[in-house]
Amino acid sequence: MRYVIRLNSEDGQQGPVKVLPEEIHRWLFFTLASVSPGYASEVHDKGMTVGTICFKPYVFSRLYSTRQGHGLKVSSQDAMFTSIFMKALSRGAPNLMTSAGIFEYSGFTIREFANTRRFFTLSPIVLKDADGYVDPAGDVAVEVVDAHLKRKYKSVYGEESSGRITRFKFSAPKRTMVRYKDHMLKGTIGEFAMEGDRELLRIAYEMGIGINNGAGFGMIESCGVY
């Protein structure tokens, strides 16, 4: 489920604003804790596990500007997360406190996954395998993306996926180095084509592509939608 969250700057500022991913990350935990402190702590400390791989059950975008103010997208396909997060938003989420200012929560809408083959990044995609970083625009990227999404599928449904991702191809990739806390991450942004099993495509849309999704990396959107 994807939540499109509306925010208004307390001082009325418009246009692009640089908000750190860790500031949005912190707001997410405060929002979850407003309904279930225990669940918020569990997600923070453990997340979800498949074998020895741990990850957070959600992904979020960067803060972006809209005609009415600012927006933020948060997605998950995990039933517990969506239930608690929906309840928190319905009650009225806390304000987003950032180094760039305070953004007041003003509501949300829900957007469903649309079966499409064209996407663009809302935040940089970071890919890794056992040997290190993988170029998302490289030839082996489709295999790494497929493996990552199958692990997320298993964490959500408790069983292996019989489908696969058959195509993952950027049209004009842009490489970027992004700082997250004390780490520099190699990411890729741009438009890309992705084809394959519908449920794995849905996992990509709702849970993100690659690693560090819970830190705000790897969120995607269908082309023609914003």
CATH assignment at residue 54: 3.30.70.1890
Of 79, 111, 143, the one marking the end of a domain is 111
In tens, the pLDDT along 24-81 reads 999 999 999 999 999 999 888 777 665 556 778 899 999 999 988 999 999 999 899 9
Mean pLDDT, residues 90-105 taken together: 93
| Residue numbers of the domain that contains 31 | 2-111
Domains in the chain: how many in total? 2
β-bridge partners, 59: 75
Of 62, 94, 111, the one marking the end of a domain is 111
Of 111, 131, 146, the one marking the end of a domain is 111
Spatial separation of the C-alpha atoms in residues 81 and 83, rounded to whole Å: 5
CATH assignment at residue 174: 3.30.70.1900
Residues 79, 24 share a domain = yes
Residues 135, 68 share a domain = no
Arithmetic mean of pLDDT over the chain: 90
The whole-model pTM stands at 0.90
